[in-house]
Amino acid sequence: MWETEDLYRVLQSRLAGFSINPVAKQPLNCAYKEIWMAAAVIARRRGWMALASSSNQVRELSELVKSKGNGKRAFLVDTLGLVRRLEGQGVPSNQAEAITSAITEVLNDSLESVSQSFVSNVQMQMSEMAQDAKLSKFKSEVQSSQERHFSLLQRETEKLKADIEKMRNELRYEVDKATSGQRLDLNLERGRLRDELAKQTAETSDLTNKLDREIHALRAQLEAAKYDVIKYCVGTLVSISTVGLAVIRILM
């Protein structure tokens, strides 16, 4: 029976040339020793004879590894070359097949563990398609919402324009009504003032004519009184002169 460390040394020295899937190569490079030792432990626990019956399945260029959620996928391992290398190092055929089967199982488990942290191209494309569909739906919803809001805003704008035009017409009507009323009142007041002024002018003319007539009458009366005064003065002077002449004649 081979010890675990011996198996590890043989695997480490002889497995450098076998081919693996590039997807699983990076995690294997980071943990070669753990995988190989785990493979050896699994092989020893299960027993070499129990795994010898799987030689027909192991000795293939590629194996289909059943995944938990992705169906089946190809994991390329040159198991036949690996078995022959182990047999070339003195490992019995059944043990070489068991080691190869254990390593393949560990690699499959590692690939399965790694695949759980990543997604396949199909899943990525499906996710991108779903995101594109959601984005398209969001864009269409945003566009429809914008169009709806724009139409609503346009209707509100038209309604506001109609209300403003209605208020403008009402205000113009009220202003015209007030202006026409004020104009009518002003015309009436102007006519009344014109009548008042004409009446005052007529009364003033009548008063002026009356004053003129009275002045002319007073002038006539003054002329008559003046004539009477002159007449009385002349009579008085004649009388005084006559009396004086009579006195003088008497005295002489």
pLDDT one-digit tens code per residue, 199-220: 999 999 999 999 999 999 888 8
Say if 54 falls within a structural domain: yes
Nearest-5° angle of CA 69, CA 75, CA 79? Answer: 140
Say if 62 falls within a structural domain: yes
Instruction: Name the domain count of the chain.
Output: 1
The answer to whether residues 91 and 99 touch, using CB atoms and an 8 Å cutoff, is: yes
Task: Quote the domain boundaries for residue 66.
Answer: 4-121
Say if 142 falls within a structural domain: no
State the angle between helix axes of 93-115 and 79-88 in degrees (0 to 180), rounded to the nearest 10. 140
Whole-number average pLDDT of the chain: 73
Chain segment 88-147, per-residue pLDDT in tens: 888 888 888 888 888 888 777 777 777 777 767 888 888 889 999 999 999 999 999 999
Amino acid at 128: E
Pairwise CA distance, residues 178 & 186, whole Å: 12
Chain segment 220-243, per-residue pLDDT in tens: 888 888 888 888 888 888 888 888
Could you please report the per-residue DSSP string of 169-225? HHHHHHHHHHHHHHHHHHHHHHHHHHHHHHHHHHHHHHHHHHHHHHHHHHHHHHHHH
Say if 239 falls within a structural domain: no
Look at the pTM and tell me if it is higher than 0.75: no
Say if 117 falls within a structural domain: yes
Say if 29 falls within a structural domain: yes
Say if 181 falls within a structural domain: no
Coil, helix or strand for 66?
strand
**% of the chain residues with pLDDT over 90:** 21
Q: Which two tokens stand for residue 211?
A: 């004053």
Alpha-carbon torsion (20, 26, 32, 34), positive or negative: negative
Pairwise CA distance, residues 25 & 119, whole Å: 17
Say if 205 falls within a structural domain: no
